[in-house]
Amino acid sequence: MSVVSPGVPSPRRVTVTPRGGLRIAASAPSAVVAAHPLVRALYPVVAQALEASADVLTVRDDLAGDVAVAFTALEVTVHLLGPGGGRSVPFAGLPAEPGESVTSVEIPEVLRRLDSGYLKVPGAVGPVAVAVVLRVRDGVVEEARVAVGGADGVPRRLSAVERRLLGARPSDALWAEAAARVVDEVPEQSGERAELLRRTVERQLRAVGGAGR
């Protein structure tokens, strides 16, 4: 996949889509996007993930890094341009075809202003990264998306964790019970790494969702 597209004109760095989501130019500097008021207000998980990649110059450069975990949680759409024209695919649908370049990513408006956050924690077995997106309404978790960076470098959603959260009332006990399901979802991870991941998921659920709200 070609992710360097010097010949492709870039749109404005961050724009609001007709449906109210955000489109982010792949060539936009990561620091600029992370500091953008719309990104920080609507999708803080993206801003925090980009801030975690201090040595990355553009959003395009981080598509396999920290922001990939946030994009996996948000189910962003990737816009591509190649010899056959343009097309759009889910972020999970990458890599692109030969000759295609990533021009922008689009975050759906349905996830605007949800509580969200990104956390990367170092460990003796390597860092673990967690992205959490929650909507709590009337004291109940109405939307839950939890993604982690895998040991193989491929982000994934934690469906069992998400199912435990949906319809439940936020509490420290809930965060702990949901995070306990991490171990079953990442059987290929070592015991020490899986435990670090469990603790990090619980910590981030508590940070994003609070307790007893």
Query: Same domain for 139 and 71?
Result: no
* Rounded-to-integer distance, Cα 119 and Cα 162, Å: 17
Choosing from 111, 146, 167, the residue where a domain stops is: 111
> Is residue 92 situated within a structural domain?
yes
Output the pTM of the full model: 0.89
Q: 118-170 pLDDT, tens per residue? A: 999 988 778 899 999 999 999 999 999 999 986 667 899 999 999 999 999 99
**CA distances for 192 relative to 31, 196, 203, angstroms:** 33, 6, 17
Tell me which residue range forms the domain holding 124: 115-209
Number of domain units in the chain: 2
Amino acid identity at 190: S
Query: Same domain for 92 and 143?
Result: no
What is the DSSP code string of 93-147? GPSPPTT-EEEEEEE-GGGTT-EEEEEEE--TT--EEEEEEEEEETTEEEEEEEE
pLDDT confidence band for 39 (50 / 70 / 90): very high
* Per-residue confidence (pLDDT) for residue 190, from 0 to 100: 72
> Is residue 4 situated within a structural domain?
no
Contact 180, 163 (CB under 8 A): no
Query: Same domain for 119 and 204?
Result: yes
Choosing from 89, 111, 133, the residue where a domain stops is: 111
Query: Same domain for 33 and 104?
Result: yes
Neighbours of 52 (CB within 10 A): 21
Question: Does residue 17 have a pLDDT over 80?
Answer: yes
